[in-house]
A and B are shown apart, each in its own frame.
Chain A
Amino acid sequence: MTQLEIDIPKLDKEGISLKSVSLWQITWRRLFRRKSAIVGMVILGILIFIALTAQWIAPYDPIRSMLDVKGYPVKPVKRSSPCVYVFGCPQDKPQHIMGLDGNNRDEFSRLLYGARLSLMIGLTTVTFAIIVGTVLGALSGYFGGWIDNLIMRTMDVLLAFPSLLLAIAIVTVLGPGLQNALLAIGIVSIPAYARVVRASVLSVREMEYVSATRALGGDTIQILFRRILPNALTPLIVQGTLGIATAILDAAALSFLGLGAQPPTPEWGSMLGGERNQVFTAPHLVFFPGIAIALTVLSFNLLGDGLRDALDPRLAHVS
């Protein structure tokens, strides 16, 4: 018989557990058994490294034109193709791995700095949406009645609009700009989290241990935060990781349409949008930012899927 791979803690002679294993240890172990989740974590790790070290590893200033760079050996050519020495580009030309953009800036440096923005966008919007969504979902699930109806019907209305269209409309009301785009994407992602939290609250609200806390004189805040909300943590983590992917895509779309980050900010969506009419003459300016967005989104998607499988209670203790 083959040995089953099971996460049950080691038992001693009397059948008493020697060491307890926490949910996080189990999750962590399971996550490392999935190839796709590892790929996701590796890509994400590289992105975080780039984001943290952009100012040291970028060869040029992301917003300065080559015309203004002192000691630049030749006259820069706008939107010139990538020049990489190992691929046979003559040594007397300055190296630009991803070419120059429409303003003679180094595309590669801009791309590296863009990692910072994209990760920041994903994290801030999702954090905002999780906080607001958790409060709304918790109120809705815990109190029920008209509060529940009011909150959840409002969420239904928000969900009745395609999310990108709603985000566009909100940005138009607030005015274009990165901050407003972040707020808009945050707002349109609230319903997903509110629903997740409400469902978790409903599932445990009537449990004995909650009644026990109430009988012992625990106040509402304590019951909600100590007894009920921890149950919503795992679905929120999964939803949040996948939500970062969506947020990054939507933010890039808004910037692409000119409603998000404004030039000369090195944001991938706006870099791509600014050069979209040059796709036939300078495809590298469209290709590279798009690949960067896709890889970032991919890493969060893979990680989120891996987390979902690892945290699934139906698979508890068995991988």
Chain B
Amino acid sequence: MIQYILRRLFLSIPVLVGILLVTFAMARLIPGDPCRAMLGEKATKAICDRWMREKGLDKPIHIQFGVYIADMARGDFGESLQYGKPATRLLVERLPMTVELSFAALLLSVLVGIPLGIISAVKHNSWVDVLTMMWANMGVSMPVFWLGLMLAYVFSLLLKDTPFWLPPSGRVSPGIPNDPFYEIWGMTVPEAGLGLSLLQFLARLNILNSILTANWKLLKDSITHLILPAMALGTIPMALIARMARSSMLEVLGQDYIRTARAKGLTSRTVILKHAFRNSLLPIVTVIGLSLGSLLGGAVLTETIFGLAGVGRTLYDAITARDYGIVQAFTVVIAFFFVLLNLLVDLSYAYLDPRIRLE
């Protein structure tokens, strides 16, 4: 197993180098002058030259790339030209939002998608099956941004003054106290560095923070704000997972050992959950892994619609504002994250199917 992990890690090195190269090239290829984009159209040539020199943008491109790699290796992701602070700081501020959103969407899609898939496989060709599959087909075909807007319309306007009302935008309602848990616990907090960043990151995960500080009002508020975006973002993966769970279960349920299990008198529940479901997991895990990519892409759209300051939205803004620092840092982090997730999916294969380990 360890050998397998090491080999997979080794194989992802060229991809990581490629990612660095692509993000660097991309940031430099964005047309337009970063200086005038930051300092305004009226900046004179002398001011711009000095600004470029300060930011190291006047050096030849290969030297810039060398500096970039060296900085990355030290954990320095450069500075945001737009906000005038390190890109890592911005990442600490914005990443928790996207993590919470993607996690909620994934949770929703797995918790609803897998049971639906199993039920429609077990009750093959029943009305439950037909309805689920019709719904799943529509689910994969809906544009995320449309679904988000329609959900906001239904839940925030049509259902106004009912218990089902949900807020159409924002992360938490204004005026609710949201102190980080480390302050409430009276922890001695490091002045700067990785420790502080980590604490701040955790404290910005609103749901986690509200549980740690027993702030139930905040917990309820942040969950109600998360439902609509998570529904919008989670629908496509949910439909994909339901479809895959169904077809994978159908295949397994037709196997001889399932008939044997039934013949020796096991309850239907044991046969379905212990014998069939476990063996149908591999393709389901693949789909879950693949849909993580669509979650990160969809996060740009979902965050735009629901006015959430997450990674996707920030990256989009940075690209339009030619903010090299953020574009580089955020794309690298997202792509690394993505490679890591793919690695985890591969490792889970090896865990679920021992045959793969030995290949």
Q: Could you tell me which A residues sit within 8 Å of B by CB distance?
A: 36, 153-154, 156-157, 160-165, 168-169, 172-173, 175, 245, 249, 252-253, 256-257, 269, 272-273, 276, 279-280, 283, 286-287, 289-290, 293-295, 297-298, 301-302
The answer to whether A160 and B18 touch across the interface, beta carbons within 8 angstroms, is yes
5 closest cross-chain pairs (CB), A and B: A290-B146, A164-B297, A157-B18, A162-B297, A298-B141
The answer to whether B152 and A279 touch across the interface, beta carbons within 8 angstroms, is yes
Cβ of B326 < 8 Å from any Cβ of A? no
Q: Which residues of B contact A173 (CB under 8 A)?
A: 26, 29-31
Chain A contact residues, majority secondary structure: helix
Neighbour of B143 across the interface among A153, A161, A175, A253, CB < 8 A: A253
Cβ of B248 < 8 Å from any Cβ of A? no
> Would you give 20 A-B contacts (Cβ < 8 Å), ordered by A?
A156-B18, A161-B331, A161-B335, A161-B338, A168-B319, A169-B26, A169-B331, A173-B29, A173-B31, A256-B301, A272-B145, A286-B146, A286-B149, A286-B150, A286-B153, A290-B143, A290-B147, A290-B150, A297-B140, A301-B141
Q: Which residues of B contact A36 (CB under 8 A)?
A: 137
Cβ of B15 < 8 Å from any Cβ of A? yes
With A169-B26, A286-B149, A301-B137 known to touch, is A153 a contact of B300 (CB < 8 Å)?
Answer: no
Chain B contact residues, majority secondary structure: helix
Cβ of B19 < 8 Å from any Cβ of A? yes
The answer to whether A153 and B15 touch across the interface, beta carbons within 8 angstroms, is yes
> Taking CB as reference atom, which chain B residue is nearest A291?
B146
| Least CB distance, B23 to chain A, in whole angstroms | 9
The answer to whether B296 and A269 touch across the interface, beta carbons within 8 angstroms, is no
With A161-B331, A276-B149 known to touch, is A302 a contact of B137 (CB < 8 Å)?
Answer: yes
The answer to whether B305 and A276 touch across the interface, beta carbons within 8 angstroms, is yes
Q: Which residues of A contact B142 (CB under 8 A)?
A: 290, 294, 297
Q: Which residues of B contact A156 (CB under 8 A)?
A: 14-15, 18
Bound form: Cα–Cα A172–B32 in Å: 10
Bound form: Cα–Cα A172–B339 in Å: 24
Bound form: Cα–Cα A169–B319 in Å: 7
Bound form: Cα–Cα A245–B141 in Å: 8
Neighbour of B293 across the interface among A163, A272, A287, A289, CB < 8 A: A163
Residue in A162, A163, A252, A286 whose Cβ sees the most chain B Cβ within 10 Å: A162
> Taking CB as reference atom, which chain A residue is nearest B138?
A298
The answer to whether A253 and B334 touch across the interface, beta carbons within 8 angstroms, is no
| Least CB distance, B149 to chain A, in whole angstroms | 5
Bound form: Cα–Cα A157–B342 in Å: 13
Bound form: Cα–Cα A278–B31 in Å: 32
Bound form: Cα–Cα A291–B63 in Å: 51
Q: Which residues of A contact B335 (CB under 8 A)?
A: 160-161
The answer to whether A162 and B293 touch across the interface, beta carbons within 8 angstroms, is yes
With A169-B331, A279-B152 known to touch, is A157 a contact of B19 (CB < 8 Å)?
Answer: yes
Residue in A165, A172, A286, A294 whose Cβ sees the most chain B Cβ within 10 Å: A165
Neighbour of A164 across the interface among B147, B149, B298, B319, CB < 8 A: B298
| Least CB distance, B222 to chain A, in whole angstroms | 23
Chain B 146-178: CB-based contact to A (< 8 A → 1; otherwise 0): 110110110011000000000000000000000
| Least CB distance, A35 to chain B, in whole angstroms | 10
Neighbour of A249 across the interface among B22, B138, B143, CB < 8 A: B143
The answer to whether B31 and A162 touch across the interface, beta carbons within 8 angstroms, is no
Neighbour of B157 across the interface among A161, A269, A280, CB < 8 A: A280
Q: Which residues of B contact A175 (CB under 8 A)?
A: 31
Neighbour of B18 across the interface among A154, A252, A289, CB < 8 A: A154
Q: Which residues of A contact B22 (CB under 8 A)?
A: 157, 161
Neighbour of A253 across the interface among B29, B30, B138, B144, CB < 8 A: B144
> Taking CB as reference atom, which chain A residue is nearest B327?
A169
Cβ of B286 < 8 Å from any Cβ of A? no
* A-B contact sample (13 more), CB < 8 A, given A156-B14, A279-B149: A153-B18, A162-B293, A162-B338, A163-B294, A164-B297, A256-B301, A269-B143, A272-B149, A276-B145, A276-B149, A279-B152, A287-B150, A290-B143
> Taking CB as reference atom, which chain B residue is nearest A40?
B137
| Least CB distance, B16 to chain A, in whole angstroms | 8
Q: Would you list which residues of chain B between 286 and 313 have a CB under 8 Å from chain A?
A: 293-294, 296-298, 300-301, 304-305, 312
Q: Which residues of A contact B137 (CB under 8 A)?
A: 36, 298, 301-302
> Taking CB as reference atom, which chain A residue is nearest B294?
A162
Cβ of B320 < 8 Å from any Cβ of A? yes
Bound form: Cα–Cα A272–B19 in Å: 33
Q: Which residues of A contact B145 (CB under 8 A)?
A: 253, 256, 272-273, 276
Bound form: Cα–Cα A290–B145 in Å: 9
With A157-B15, A165-B296, A302-B137 known to touch, is A253 a contact of B301 (CB < 8 Å)?
Answer: yes
| Least CB distance, B141 to chain A, in whole angstroms | 4
Q: Which residues of A contact B99 (CB under 8 A)?
A: none
Bound form: Cα–Cα A307–B141 in Å: 17
Cβ of B316 < 8 Å from any Cβ of A? yes
Q: Which residues of B contact A294 (CB under 8 A)?
A: 138, 141-143, 146
Q: Which residues of B contact A273 (CB under 8 A)?
A: 145
Q: Which residues of B contact A293 (CB under 8 A)?
A: 143, 146
With A165-B297, A168-B300, A286-B153 known to touch, is A272 a contact of B18 (CB < 8 Å)?
Answer: no
| Least CB distance, B327 to chain A, in whole angstroms | 8
The answer to whether A301 and B331 touch across the interface, beta carbons within 8 angstroms, is no
Q: Which residues of A contact B153 (CB under 8 A)?
A: 279-280, 283, 286
Bound form: Cα–Cα A294–B138 in Å: 7
| Least CB distance, A254 to chain B, in whole angstroms | 10
The answer to whether B146 and A172 touch across the interface, beta carbons within 8 angstroms, is no
Q: Which residues of B contact A272 (CB under 8 A)?
A: 143, 145-146, 149
Q: Which residues of A contact B21 (CB under 8 A)?
A: 157
Cβ of B315 < 8 Å from any Cβ of A? yes
